[in-house]
Amino acid sequence: MKKKNIISISILLTIYLLFASSCAKSIAYFTDVIKVDSIRSAQLATTGLELTEQNPIKLKVGDKVSIVVSSKNPELTKLFNPSGGGSSNYTLDTTGCIDFPVLGTLKLEGMTRQGVKDMMKEKLISNNLLYDPIVSVEFTNLRFSILGEINRPGNYSIDRDRITILEAISMAGDLGVCGKRDNVLVIRTENGVQKLHKVNLYAYEKLIQSPVYELQQNDIIYISPNKRRAGDSNINGNNLLSTSFWISVCSLLMSVATFLRVR
């Protein structure tokens, strides 16, 4: 009985060790900053790094927003908000517009959330509709997707004006140890055309200057597996483990058998 236990434990240890060793050892981010010389380190600490032009999320056709108008005059405010507990959500139509109570058709495509607030406040005041309007604008259906070698793949909501790829990775529980940090792909649709951008998480200085450092709605992030991970998953042959795995298992079992015979 003891011999069987020894063999079972040996097999389990082998499986664990081989899977652990199949993943890349280098899982740190920003190695270009960590490994730079002391002079460059001092420069970065003093002056920092200049970001590319900040790009808050702009509304697109099909996006949904919640718009609520309030003021010190509740009776007038009712004119601009759905009565009877109706929804305050508005969807940008194919022309990028919404139909808002009293104000009529409003073109929101290409505008930031703050831009929508400012535009609506100006219209309410200039048309003598409200003198002290407060306009609340929230995103309701904006999302990004992340998949591949990530701990929590899926779709995630965007509820702020800016979200970086690092924040997105953090929301999804970080990359798995087998994810390629030097070849993260971001698929972005612009004017009906899908564009592929590559990001290197080791290179911080280049990362923050990338056009996809700040995400947009509907971006897709793909974390590809490293070479060892990809080699260990042969889907066509339904072989989840590499040949080297089985060679190692056989070698261990032979060693255990020899040990037991000697005893």
CATH number, domain containing residue 132: 3.30.1950.10
On whether residue 259 sits in a domain, the answer given is no
- On whether both 216 and 146 belong to a single domain, the answer is yes
- On whether both 132 and 154 belong to a single domain, the answer is no
- On whether both 164 and 41 belong to a single domain, the answer is yes
**Average pLDDT value over all residues in the chain:** 81
- On whether both 157 and 203 belong to a single domain, the answer is yes
pLDDT for position 178: 87
pLDDT for position 16: 54
pLDDT tens, residue by residue, 159-203? 999 999 999 999 999 998 889 999 999 999 988 899 999 999 988
- On whether both 199 and 126 belong to a single domain, the answer is no
- On whether both 72 and 172 belong to a single domain, the answer is no
- On whether both 105 and 221 belong to a single domain, the answer is no
On whether residue 257 sits in a domain, the answer given is no
pLDDT for position 229: 61
- Token representation of residue 15: 């499986």
- Token representation of residue 27: 């899982």
**Among 150, 204, 210, 148, which Cα is nearest to 177's?**
150
- On whether both 70 and 119 belong to a single domain, the answer is yes
- On whether both 47 and 166 belong to a single domain, the answer is yes
**Residue at which a domain ends, from 139, 171, 198:** 139
- On whether both 125 and 68 belong to a single domain, the answer is yes
CB atoms within 10 A of CB 100: 16
pLDDT tier at 80 (50, 70, 90 boundaries)? very high
- Token representation of residue 236: 């066509």
- On whether both 157 and 199 belong to a single domain, the answer is yes
**Residue at which a domain ends, from 114, 139, 164:** 139
Strands (E), the chain: 64-70, 89-91, 97-100, 104-107, 134-139, 143-148, 154-157, 179-190, 193-199, 220-225
* Host domain of residue 44: 31-52+142-226
The total number of structural domains in the chain stands at 2
On whether residue 114 sits in a domain, the answer given is yes
If 0-12 CB within 10 Å is exposed, 13-18 middle and 19+ buried, where does residue 24 land? middle
Looking at the whole model, is its pTM more than 0.85?
A: no
pLDDT for position 82: 81
- On whether both 151 and 38 belong to a single domain, the answer is yes
